[in-house]
């Protein structure tokens, strides 16, 4: 049902999505649970290197700078595809991509070169308020932290063990396979600065990336719930024939189609104000729907959904984290451009 390509994708995008699908089936499906549960699992690093080989770590970076030069719609599709199996791991890939995009938009070419040559993992930190620790996917294993100051657009390129950073692994409930950490940026010398347009571009890419991962969770939850409901016999029939269950599945599906449409339209907009507005809307809606799909998916599975073996409960945990990363829904909604000033 969800294998058909979106019409907005070009040939290159279709090829990428196909490659990612193969990567998901061959590698990520089998390790998805392990890398969520075991923060030391070797499989994570191996998969990371494989993701690098298929161009998922530097997708948005232009070819002239050593990247893949993949379009945002294509990356969104690829992230969604991978998140159908492991949202956390995909969030770490997104963090790496947004780091490189921010450096690129800020003209930090030397830093990009250094990062690519060292083959180190990059984690992105959106510094909303100084001195407050920020959740960052990939940050517990990253060699570099890219900080973007939300207030003034300054971009910093910091080594993870530098004195400007305090890193705490914490006890995250969700996105654990992203190898996250809470990063407190004490002080940093900026390597560059983003103008209003670039800032909007980077933020939009981040928000649409998150929305795409959330969409992947929704699709995963729907597929698992649909499959289970088609087999589980209760009340004299398979439960998919019970109206209550059908209604829950139908709502999941309708929302998925709406989220797909909103991500697609947002990723094609070029005017930066409009792009940011639609991206915020898409992210809020996609994440809210992912939480609903995951919660209803667990409910349809009954007791089995609550047990870790079935791979449903992790969707609830991951979706909840995506909903508040990098902004909470109210932060997101209250700063939508176009609203009357407070």
Partner 1 sequence: MGSGNKAREAEKRLLKEFPMLKEIARRRPLYFEKLANTVGACAEYGERYIAPVALELDRKLEKEHDYFPWDLVNAALPYRLLSLVIPSMVGGIGGLAVLFALAMEELCSYCAGIANIFGAHALGVSPILVSGSMAHWESVLREVVEEEKRGNPVILAAAVTEPSAGTDVEEPHFLTRAKLSMEAKKVKGGYLLNGRKCFISNGSVAKYTLLCCATDRLRPLETWTTFLVESGMEGFSVPRVEEKMGQRACPAAELSFEDCFVPEENVLAFEGDGMQPGTLLILAASRAPVGAIATGIARGAYEWFLKWAQRERKGKRPIEKQVVQMALAKMRSRIQASRWAYMNAALSFDNSLGKVMRSPVTHSISLLPERVRVSNPWKRFFLSAYGKRLSEFLISASTSLEEVTEALGYASLAKALGGDTAVFVSSLALEVMGLEDCEEREWIEKAYRDAKLTQIYEGTNQLNQLTLYMTQIGGELSVELKRPLFGFSSRRVV
124 binds partner 1 (CB under 8 A): no
Compute the least distance from the CB of residue 138 to partner 1, in Å: 14
306 binds partner 1 (CB under 8 A): yes
Compute the least distance from the CB of residue 299 to partner 1, in Å: 6
Q: Are 259 and 285 in contact (CB under 8 A)?
A: yes
What are 182's strand-pairing partners? 135, 168
285 binds partner 1 (CB under 8 A): no
Q: What is the spatial distance between Cα 115 and Cα 142, in angstroms, rounded to a whole number?
A: 11
Backbone angles phi, psi at 196, to 5 degrees: -60, -40
Q: What is the spatial distance between Cα 124 and Cα 31, in angstroms, rounded to a whole number?
A: 24
Compute the least distance from the CB of residue 229 to partner 1, in Å: 12
How many Å separate Cα 60 from the centre of its chain?
14
307 binds partner 1 (CB under 8 A): yes
Is residue 135 classed exposed, middle or buried when 0-12, 13-18 and 19+ CB atoms within 10 A define those classes?
buried
67 binds partner 1 (CB under 8 A): no
Compute the least distance from the CB of residue 236 to partner 1, in Å: 4
Compute the least distance from the CB of residue 247 to partner 1, in Å: 10
Residue 261 CB coordination number (10 Å) = 12
Backbone angles phi, psi at 317, to 5 degrees: -70, -45
DSSP 30-62: HHHHHHHH-TT-HHHHHHHHHHHHTT-SSSSS-
Under DSSP, the state recorded for 84 is: T
How many Å separate Cα 281 from the centre of its chain?
15
328 binds partner 1 (CB under 8 A): yes
Which region, judged by CB under 8 A, interacts with partner 1, from 70-78, 98-106, 229-237, 261-269? 229-237
DSSP 313-329: HHHHHHHHHHHTSSS-H
Closer residue to partner 1 in complex, CB, 103/316: 316
303 binds partner 1 (CB under 8 A): yes
Of 90, 93, 72, residue with least CA distance to 82: 90
109 binds partner 1 (CB under 8 A): no
List the one residue from 40, 161, 163, 236 that touches partner 1 (CB under 8 A). 236
334 binds partner 1 (CB under 8 A): yes
302 binds partner 1 (CB under 8 A): yes
Closer residue to partner 1 in complex, CB, 17/125: 125
List the one residue from 230, 254, 331, 335 that touches partner 1 (CB under 8 A). 331
Task: Show the tokens assigned to 7.
Answer: 């019409």
Closer residue to partner 1 in complex, CB, 34/273: 34
Under DSSP, the state recorded for 258 is: H
Identify the three-state secondary structure at position 150. Answer: coil
308 binds partner 1 (CB under 8 A): yes
Nearest-5° Cα angle at 248, 327 to 234: 135
Question: Which residues 140-179 are close enough to bind partner 1 by CB under 8 A?
Answer: 168, 170-171, 173
295 binds partner 1 (CB under 8 A): yes
Could you list the residues that contact partner 1 (CB under 8 A)?
A: 37, 129, 131-135, 168, 170-171, 173, 182, 233-236, 244-245, 291, 295, 298-299, 302-303, 305-309, 313, 316-317, 320-321, 323-325, 327-331, 334
């Amino acid at each position: 049902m969800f294998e058909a390509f979106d019409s907005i994708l070009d040939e290159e995008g279709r090829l990428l999505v196909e490659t990612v699908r193969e990567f998901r089936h061959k590698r990520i499906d089998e390790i998805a649970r392990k890398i969520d549960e075991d923060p030391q699992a070797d499989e994570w690093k191996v998969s990371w290197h494989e993701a690098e080989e298929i161009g998922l770590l530097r997708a948005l970076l232009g070819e002239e700078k050593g990247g893949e030069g993949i379009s945002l719609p294509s990356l969104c599709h690829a992230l969604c595809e991978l998140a159908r199996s492991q949202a956390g791991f995909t969030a770490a890939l997104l963090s790496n991509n947004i780091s490189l995009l921010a450096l690129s938009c800020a003209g930090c070419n030397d830093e990009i070169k250094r990062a690519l040559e060292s083959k180190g993992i990059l984690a992105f930190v959106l510094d909303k308020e100084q001195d407050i620790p920020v959740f960052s996917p990939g940050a517990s294993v990253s060699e570099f932290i890219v900080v973007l100051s939300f207030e003034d657009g300054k971009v910093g390129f910091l080594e993870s063990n530098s004195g400007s950073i305090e890193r705490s692994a914490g006890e995250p409930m969700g996105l654990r396979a992203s190898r996250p950490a809470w990063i407190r940026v004490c002080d940093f010398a900026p390597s560059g600065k983003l103008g209003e347009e670039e800032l909007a571009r980077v933020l939009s890419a981040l928000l649409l990336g998150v929305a795409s991962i959330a969409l992947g969770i929704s699709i995963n939850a729907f597929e698992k719930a649909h499959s289970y409901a088609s087999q589980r016999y209760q009340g004299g029939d398979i439960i998919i024939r019970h109206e209550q269950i059908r209604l829950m599945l139908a709502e999941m599906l309708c929302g998925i189609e709406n989220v797909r449409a909103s991500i697609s339209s947002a990723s094609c907009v070029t005017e930066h104000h409009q792009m940011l507005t639609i991206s915020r809307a898409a992210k809020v809606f996609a994440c809210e729907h992912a939480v609903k799909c995951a919660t209803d998916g667990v409910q349809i599975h009954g007791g089995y959904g609550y047990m870790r073996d079935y791979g449903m409960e992790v969707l609830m945990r991951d979706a909840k984290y995506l909903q508040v990363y990098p902004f909470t829904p109210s932060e997101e909604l209250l700063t939508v451009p176009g609203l009357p000033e407070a």
